[in-house]
Amino acid sequence: MLTSRPKTANLARDLFIDDSSLQNKHPIEITGDTGTGKSAVLHDISIKCILPKKYNGHNVGVIYFDLDYHFELPQFVSTIEQKTKASENEIKNWLKNFYLCRCDTAEQLIVTLHSVEPLIANSSMPIRLLILDSITAFYWIDSHAGGKSQYLRESNMNKIVDILKIFRDKYGLCIISAGQHLMNPERNQEENRQEQSYPQYKQFLCRQWQEFIKHRFVFTQAPAFGSSCFISHKVGPTQSDRHFTIGNTGVAFIS
């Protein structure tokens, strides 16, 4: 029996937005400073994908690229336990649909992306989500290695985008990435304070990546609501904010 494919719009609801413009195959990017809940949201979306439908899951496979080595499997499993109260054997069975990959360089990421294509094509449990956390992990290394040549600085990233386009177009994968962002250096602190609702950030990855991403979110802390509360800002013509908290059972939205 074929498993239904979760649409990007469904996954986007897990990012606490309500946007009818979201379409399937529209890659999503989350940016923000360290400690703003990016990875926690990606973990929560991954869990909802691998859980069966009786737990309001999608019952599909996930490939998770942990590029900055921040992923903690015990915490991931603990969240599943708290969310479902399921048995150890059940959880182990669900984790068979979660594929964790780690890479030390952009070149290694490119090779690994190529190597997982047969898995995506032939897996008995359909793989429908690919996560890159963090897509900016190798940016500074590649920028330094490329020197003054823009082509060399962006070569690896362009290759990564080419592979991701195949995954999106040929296999219908939902692709979600997280990364650091650069605050716009042309804006001073006073300007940023006046427009805290929609933080300004500078796109610094290659143009091909910028064109590949269709929906962007900036995560920030919301100290007025508590240390475990954050804000997801949707960037674009239809800007919107959603507050969310992170607890033992994962992520929950407030507004």
Question: Using CA atoms, how far apart are residues 89 and 93, in angstroms rounded to an integer?
Answer: 6
CB 239 within 8 A of CB 190: no
What is the pLDDT at residue 106?
97
Q: How confident is the model at residue 43 (pLDDT cuts 50, 70, 90)?
A: very high
What is the pLDDT at residue 62?
97
By DSSP bridging, strand 240-247 and strand 229-235 are antiparallel
pTM of the model: 0.88
- Using alpha carbons, select from 130, 173, 124, 100 the residue that is nearest to residue 3: 124
Over residues 244-252, the mean pLDDT reads 90
Domains of the chain are 8-16+27-253 (3.40.50.300)
DSSP states along 154-168: HHHHHHHHHHHHHHH
Does residue 172 register a pLDDT over 50? yes
230: Cβ–Cβ under 8 A, 6 or more apart, which residues? 36, 37, 219, 220, 221, 222, 243, 244, 245, 246
